[in-house]
Amino acid sequence: MRRRTLLLAGGLAVVLAGAGVVGWRAIPYVPPAAAAPRSASVVRETAYVERWWRHANPTYGSLGGTDCVDFTSQALHARGWPMTADWGTSTVLGRRSWTPTWVSSTALMRWLATRPDLASALDDGHRDQVAVGDVAQFDWDASGDRDHTAVVTRVQHEGGRVVVEVAEHSPAGLHDSVDTLIADHGGRGVIHYWHLRV
């Protein structure tokens, strides 16, 4: 008698033979495609945001206020992006300084727009191309500038839609849904992404 296995939700399978049920068996969990192995640079970046999403890393000094872009820049540095004269932070004579591109959402946007070797711009209509480690930028009032910056931590396909989650500072959050964040800011906001090449 030929046996068939019917997969069920919740990690179970039923074994059928003819018209009757022969038995049940557990099936191993197989992670979704989104959880496929990541490059070493993305692993470093995501490990950084998971370590520091709740607190400031004293190595980079303190801005004493809003630090969402500073946190994102630190994650990109952990990813392997080298600091440059255009993007970075340094301490001279005991005083910390940051380039505008390191700490300003709009300055980072403008700089990345000149660096196709580092990243390519995606609008929200291209969520299916967003990957873990990419940069998310929010324009809360749809004015054209960028008001908030975060790091993409999860991209999941659920029922025909793509759900993107981010890690952020100011306020601190890990795996926050971009849709929820926009709704929490009045629903008028626009989300943009930078898909990273390196």
- CATH at 112: 3.90.1720
Alpha-carbon gap, residue 109 to 129, rounded angstroms: 18
Q: Give mean pLDDT, residues 103-115.
A: 98
17 in the same domain as 91: no
Contact 101, 86 (CB under 8 A): yes
Whether residue 183 sits in one domain with residue 115: yes
Beta-carbon neighbour count of residue 16 at 10 Å?
15
Residue 130 and residue 70 in one domain: yes
For residues 138 and 178, state if they share a domain. yes
Q: What is the pLDDT of residue 19?
A: 53
**What is the domain range of residue 186?**
34-196
Question: Do both 105 and 12 map to the same domain?
Answer: no
Residue 15 identity (one-letter amino acid): V
Q: How many distinct helices (H) and strands (E) make up the chain?
A: 5, 11
140 and 72 belong to one structural domain: yes
pTM of the shown model: 0.80
Asked if 130 and 185 sit in the same domain, the reply is: yes
- Per DSSP, 134 falls in state -
In sequence order, the β-bridge partners of residue 152 are: 166
Q: Which of 144, 158, 145, 148 is nearest to 178 (CA)?
A: 148
Whether 69 and 142 share a structural domain: yes
Of the candidate ranges 83-87, 158-162, 178-182, the one whose mean pLDDT is the lowest: 158-162
Strand, coil or helix: what is 75?
helix
- For the ranges 9-18, 108-117, 151-160, the lowest mean pLDDT is seen at 9-18
The domain total for the chain is 2
Same domain, 13 and 77: no
What is the average pLDDT value for the chain, to the nearest integer? 86
Q: Tell me what pLDDT residue 27 has.
A: 42
pLDDT digit string, tens, across residues 160-181: 899 999 999 999 999 999 999 9
- Using CA atoms, how far apart are residues 198 and 167, in angstroms rounded to an integer? 19
DSSP-assigned letter for residue 27: -
**pLDDT tier, 95 (very low <50, low <70, confident <90, very high otherwise):** confident
H-state helical runs in the chain? 40-52, 68-79, 100-103, 105-113, 178-184
Which range (95-99, 113-117, 150-154) has the least confidence?
95-99
- Give the phi and the psi of residue 187 in degrees, each rounded to 5: 80, 0
81, 86, 124: which is closest to 103 by C-alpha?
A: 86
pLDDT in tens, 14-68: 444 555 554 555 544 334 444 456 899 999 999 999 999 999 999 998 888 899 9
Claim to verify: residue 46 and residue 14 sit in the same structural domain: no
In a shared domain, residues 152 and 192: yes
Question: Measured in whole angstroms, how far is the alpha carbon of residue 97 from the centre of its chain?
Answer: 26
Pair (3, 69) in one structural domain: no
How many Å is the maximal CA-CA distance in the chain? Answer: 82
Mean pLDDT, residues 75-99 taken together: 93
Per DSSP, 64 falls in state S
Q: Which residues contact 184 (CB under 8 A, 6 or more apart)?
A: none
Q: What pLDDT score does 36 carry?
A: 52
Do strands 119-123 and 89-92 pair parallel, antiparallel, or not at all (unpaired)?
unpaired
